[in-house]
Amino acid sequence: MNREDVWKYLSFILTLLLALAIVSNVLLYMQTGELQKALTEENKTYRFEVQVPNVTIISNDTALQAKITELQGEIEYLKELLRKEKPKEANGTIVILPIMGPIDDYMAKDIITKIKEIEQNQSIGGVLLWIESPGGYVGPVRLIYKEVKKLSYKIPVVAYTGSLANSGGYYIACAADKIIADPLADVGSIGVIYVHYDLEQNYAQNGIKVNVFKTGKYKDMGAEWRDLTDEEKKMITDMVNVYFEEFLNVVSEGRKLDMNTTKEYATGRSWFATDVKGVLVDDLGDLNYAIKTLENLMNVSSAKVIFYDANKIDFGIYQSSSLFMPAKYAISYTRG
């Protein structure tokens, strides 16, 4: 199978996984939401049909999870095929790519630029993501995750944290082949928050009147000069739930967990890594151990290690925003 065929088949498998993930989310709603209530009232039994080109799968929850596991195994096989095409001289160099601090658009640009450089450098045989982050904005986190995931199809990637990989930081770590953490590193915090500034009373108390001319009733939704309507709160809640469902799928896929187990760890809390070994992290150790783990995946020893610089950013939450970040960290970045 040549490289082009591998990529085509990999794209097909990913499309199928996406379809199955959608059905998985429907089943999740059935178990916990209004859909379950409605179906229970009518005492009906449903099954789900997923259609992609030339394939039809009809599945219940157990069969669905089994199929997802099977497809994940095929992805691992295809990753190995792609990695075998790397030239042998590429096997001796490791890049340590740091993701330090809260994540915004500027960090995403910096990290993705470096990933593109790594992809073009045939001498690099593996990447160690050194993550020390409480998370950040939803969009930038998702962008970095996608690029790391694509990179992992070509070369081994190991994520390491010595102290903190919360929420968006952990989200990105799930794109790696393995996650290594210091025993007392703070990991997890799987969840989403939406921060909204409501300064309507503050404006009134200071004699500030805001005139808004808009083209639609939602155009100033989330603006700080007024509160949200009940309808807008429902819309934002739905949006947050969509991001949360995606987070669940990322963890379930990356950590090879069934959805029920994933949800048990998706309460928003974080853990010492030693308490979630074998679930949210693969193993415990320091940076040197993480490097050794990556060398094992690369089938080399004494690899040359290159450190990339970590660019410091001036992070702030200046407007209503969706975040993969614990509230205890978000509050320190909100404007005064």
Q: Which of the residues are catalytic? A: 167, 219
Question: Tokens representing 140?
Answer: 């930038």
What pLDDT sits at residue 329? Answer: 76
At 23 the three-state DSSP class reads helix
Q: How far apart are CA 86 and CA 128, in angstroms?
A: 18
Q: H helices of the chain, where?
A: 3-32, 34-42, 61-84, 105-120, 138-152, 168-173, 200-205, 230-255, 259-264, 287-298, 327-333
Instruction: Find residue 297's DSSP bridge partners.
Output: none
Q: What mean pLDDT comes out for the span 264-279? A: 96
Domains of the chain: 1-85 (no CATH), 89-336 (3.90.226.10)
Q: Please, what's the largest Cα pairwise distance for the chain?
A: 71
The helix (run of H) or strand (run of E) holding residue 187 is strand 186-188
Selected residue with higher pLDDT from 26 and 199: 199
Among 318, 263, 259, 251, CA closest to 65: 259
Q: What is the pLDDT of residue 44?
A: 47
Tokens 């853990």: give the residue.
Answer: 271
Band (61; pLDDT cuts 50, 70, 90): low
Taking residues 26-49, what's their average pLDDT?
Answer: 48
Average pLDDT over residues 164-170: 96
Q: Are 228 and 236 within 8 A, CB to CB?
A: yes
pLDDT tens sequence across 91-116: 589 999 999 999 999 999 999 999 99
CB 225 within 8 A of CB 198: no
* Structural contact between residues 44 and 69, judged by C-beta atoms closer than 8 angstroms: no
pLDDT band, residue 119 (cuts 50/70/90): very high
